């Protein structure tokens, strides 16, 4: 066989395999409060022992997704329901079909039957569409209008949030600006204010250091009266005569001077 014929045969086999695995859609019509049976349309391959059958409901909004309903291990396994399923349903006998008792408008839509194959084989799927004649149908125009309303509502919310942000930003800017202007005015008003006693004391404390003797002498001069009262002669030690001011300065600088002998110099 030539390579061209071999490639063509492989391509045809692949197309046939894809068509065989493809979904088979079945439409079922019922009325509200009726018991409805949904047949599994998944084509199974003869000779293959499938592991399990599973049923899902297809949700088309906002994005296509599958919601698990129930599952059973084949051939005679236990039926298990998925978490969150509140609808009463069950497999019909030993078949792969499901029974929906007392259907409502919420049950309409697409359902998927899934056959899980063993390793090395292909899984199979089939779809069933349930339509209820006495339920109002939503036209494409109404759905489009609903989507448009949602877009408009979201846009209005976005504009409102942007407006609130701009108002808050302007208010905060004005508050900070007024606070800075007030601070500058206070600094300008207090620029030429005369120094008070606390400021003067601070300046004195931070001024140059003066010796202790100089401070005592300055204090004595301030306390000295304009007219000195009559006082006794200053103490005399030997041949030296002290002045009262010198004696007090020496006395303050050295509270416990050593005993002076007669005739010793004080300098």
How much is the average pLDDT of 73-91? Answer: 87
Question: According to the model, what pLDDT value does residue 85 have?
Answer: 87
Q: Please state whether beta strands 109-116 and 65-73 pair in parallel, antiparallel, or not at all (unpaired).
A: unpaired
pLDDT averaged over every residue in the chain? 73
The pLDDT score that the predictor gives to residue 188 is: 59
pLDDT for 56: 93
The secondary structure of 97-156 as a DSSP string is: -EEE-S--GGG-EEEEEEEE--TTS--EEEEEEEEETTSPPPPHHHHHHHHHHHHHHHHH
Rounded mean pLDDT of 59-68?
79
pLDDT at 228 over 90: no
- The pLDDT value recorded for residue 159 is 92
DSSP H helical segments within 190-211, as ranges?
Answer: 197-206
Greater pLDDT, 221 or 236 = 221
For 18-28, what is the mean pLDDT? 60
Residues 6+ apart with CB under 8 A from 216: 248, 249, 252, 253
Rounded distance, CA 53 to CA 73, Å? Answer: 7
Q: What is the pLDDT of residues 125-182, one digit of tens each?
A: 999 999 998 887 655 566 667 778 888 888 999 999 999 999 998 888 888 887 777 7
pLDDT of residue 86: 85
* Burial (0-12, 13-18, 19+ Cβ within 10 Å), 39: middle
Torsion of CA 187, 191, 194, 196, to 10 degrees: 40
**3-state SS of 56-95?**
EEEECCCCCEEEEEEEEECCCCCEEECCCCCCCCEECCCC
37: number of Cβ within 10 Å: 14
Local structure of residue 16 (DSSP, 8 states): H
Q: Could you report the per-residue pLDDT of 93-123, keeping only the tens digit for each?
A: 878 899 999 988 888 889 999 999 988 888 9
CA distance 109 to 71: 19
At 14 the pLDDT is 36
242 burial (CB, 10 Å; 0-12 / 13-18 / 19+) is middle
pLDDT of res. 26: 86
pLDDT exceeds cutoff 90 at 203: no
pLDDT of residue 16: 35
Distance CA 31, CA 34 (A): 6
**For position 120, what pLDDT does the model report?**
87
pLDDT value at position 114? 92
Mean pLDDT check: name the lowest of 28-42, 65-79, 125-139, 184-198.
Answer: 184-198
Whether 111 and 54 have beta carbons less than 8 Å apart is answered as no
Give the separation between CA 131 and CA 108, rounded to whole angstroms.
Answer: 5
Residue of 237 and 198 predicted with greater confidence: 198
* Bigger pLDDT: 27 vs 241: 27
Report pLDDT for 190: 59
Percent residues over pLDDT 70 in the chain:
58
């Amino acid at each position: 066989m030539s390579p061209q014929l071999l490639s063509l045969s492989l391509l045809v086999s692949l197309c046939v395999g894809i068509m065989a695995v493809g979904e088979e859609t079945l439409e079922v019509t019922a009325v509200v409060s009726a018991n409805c049976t949904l047949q599994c349309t998944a084509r199974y391959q003869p000779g293959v022992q499938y592991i399990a059958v599973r049923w899902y409901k297809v949700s088309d909004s906002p994005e296509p997704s599958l919601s698990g309903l129930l599952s059973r291990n084949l051939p005679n396994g236990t039926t298990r329901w998925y978490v969150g399923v509140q609808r009463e349903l069950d497999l019909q006998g030993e078949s792969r079909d499901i029974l929906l008792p007392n259907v409502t408008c919420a049950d309409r839509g697409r359902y998927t039957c899934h056959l899980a194959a063993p390793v090395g084989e292909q899984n199979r799927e089939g779809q069933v569409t349930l339509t209820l004649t006495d339920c109002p149908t939503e036209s494409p125009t109404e759905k489009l209008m609903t989507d448009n309303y949602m877009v408009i509502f979201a846009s209005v919310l976005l504009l409102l949030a942007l407006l609130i942000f701009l108002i808050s930003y302007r208010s905060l800017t004005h508050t900070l600006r007024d606070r800075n202007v007030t601070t500058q005015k206070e600094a300008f008003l207090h620029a030429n204010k005369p120094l008070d006693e606390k400021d003067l004391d601070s300046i004195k404390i931070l001024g140059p250091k003066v010796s202790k003797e100089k401070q005592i002498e300055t204090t004595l001069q301030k306390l000295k009266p304009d007219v000195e009262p009559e006082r006794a002669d200053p103490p005399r030690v030997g041949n030296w005569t002290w002045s009262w001011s010198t004696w007090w300065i020496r006395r303050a600088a050295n509270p416990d001077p050593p005993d002076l002998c007669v005739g010793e110099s004080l300098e």
